[in-house]
Amino acid sequence: MKPSAMKTTIISAFCLISISFVACHDKKQEWNVYEFLWIHNMDIANSTLYLDFMQHMEVGDLRAERYVNFTIQDINYVVKVTEMLRKLSSSVKEPADLRQFFQGRYKSYKNFCDYLLNMYFLKGVSDIKPTPAMRKYLSDYETIMNTKEPIYFAVSLLPCSRLWGWLANQVNMTQTNAYFGWKKDNMGGNPEKHYKKLLNKHLNTFDKEKTSLTGSYILHDSPVNNVESFRFVGTIISHDLKWEHNISSLIQKAQQRMYFLWQLRKFNLPKSMMVHFYSTIIESKDRGRLQRIICSAERVIGCSLPSLQSMYTSRTLRRAGKIAADPFHPGHSLFETLPSGRRWRSIITRTSRHKNSFFPSAIGLLNKT
């Protein structure tokens, strides 16, 4: 998904959820709408980190033309939204705080718009052709402006204001990264100052007994959201118990550490030392796309390195041997020898996921050795 398409998804989600607050009106209940909208959409925000665009930007190898195209689309977005804010700043009269909000946002966007146009020597955006995702994104803005109450246009502005600052704080970039300027520029925002009080005032009612309508749960008077993935003790656990997100995170770290391997090569360090660095810093026991990292490291060092399959086999056998020798381990009973004493009893599996899990795989490898 492209960044502009992700923006469209977040805007739609924010606005639909905020409308449900009004539908569930209850003056006896107070609710932090500003935080709830963000928490409820954290799964989308987390997904943004795994976009191909963001991954290459974090590593620093994003192609320049992709970033330029993104910037051009962003300039078009800023100009169009500035014009919408100009209309709202003059048409919204009441309530006073909402009028002041639109006037303040228009002034801020107008200054930023003029800055971008001057920086890139543009007189306007009439020659910029928006992508389908950006066209849909701006169309959603116009629909909200023309068909909804003005407060919902403020809601539609919130994802862009809050998401980019959050992304800038999440990505791990050094000052040598070509895109470190993007990170630095986006870390200074303060959306809470502009949005929190306004949204909590005008959309601050919510019936906690109806939280099932929005797919959340309440624990100790705080919303607990269903998310696509969650980081726990350094491992990213996805809702479907697959490992794509976790492997993507590991690949990002491995690609970043390859930089140091190149630096070691520049200083003509012995191959043995570079292999030791690779084994302790870069090597991982996860399979899949990480094999490309190993191939890159082999080219840098100039010698063969253990394949993912050989690492998996050796570490599985080592771990299985420890469990089989430890009668107090919870999995010890699964390692049962056949009457001959030469082989281990195989575990019956009905699904490929179970078959490829640790214990059935470990017993299969032990029987092959």
Domains of the chain and any CATH numbers: 3-227 (1.20.910.10), 238-305 (no CATH), 313-368 (no CATH)
Which has the higher per-residue pLDDT, 250 or 47? 47
pLDDT of 4 higher than 70: no
pLDDT of 288 higher than 50: no
Q: Which two tokens stand for residue 353?
A: 């996921």
Task: Find the mean pLDDT for residues 259-267.
Answer: 78
Judge contact between 153 and 145, C-beta under 8 A: yes
pLDDT of 20 higher than 80: no
Judge contact between 159 and 144, C-beta under 8 A: no
CB atoms within 10 A of CB 335: 20
Task: Find the mean pLDDT for residues 200-228.
Answer: 55
pLDDT at 350: 85
Task: Report the share of the chain in percent with pLDDT over 90.
Answer: 0
C-alpha to C-alpha distances, 33 to 17, 23, 210, nearest whole angstrom: 10, 14, 15
Indicate the range of 33-37, 123-127, 235-239, 247-251 predicted with least confidence: 247-251
What's the predicted TM-score (pTM) here?
0.50
| Residue 231 dihedral angles phi and psi, to the nearest 5° | -90, 125
pLDDT of 162 higher than 60: yes
pLDDT at 258: 72
Cβ within 8 Å of residue 356, ≥6 positions away: none
Instruction: Tell me the Cα Rg of the chain.
Output: 27
Q: What is the mean pLDDT of the chain?
A: 76
Transcribe 182-241 into DSSP letters: HHHHHTT--HHHHHHHHHHHHS----GGGGGGGTEEEETTEEEE--SEEEETTEEEETT-
Give bridge partners of residue 232 from the DSSP assignment: 235
pLDDT at 342: 84
pLDDT at 283: 55
Judge contact between 278 and 261, C-beta under 8 A: yes
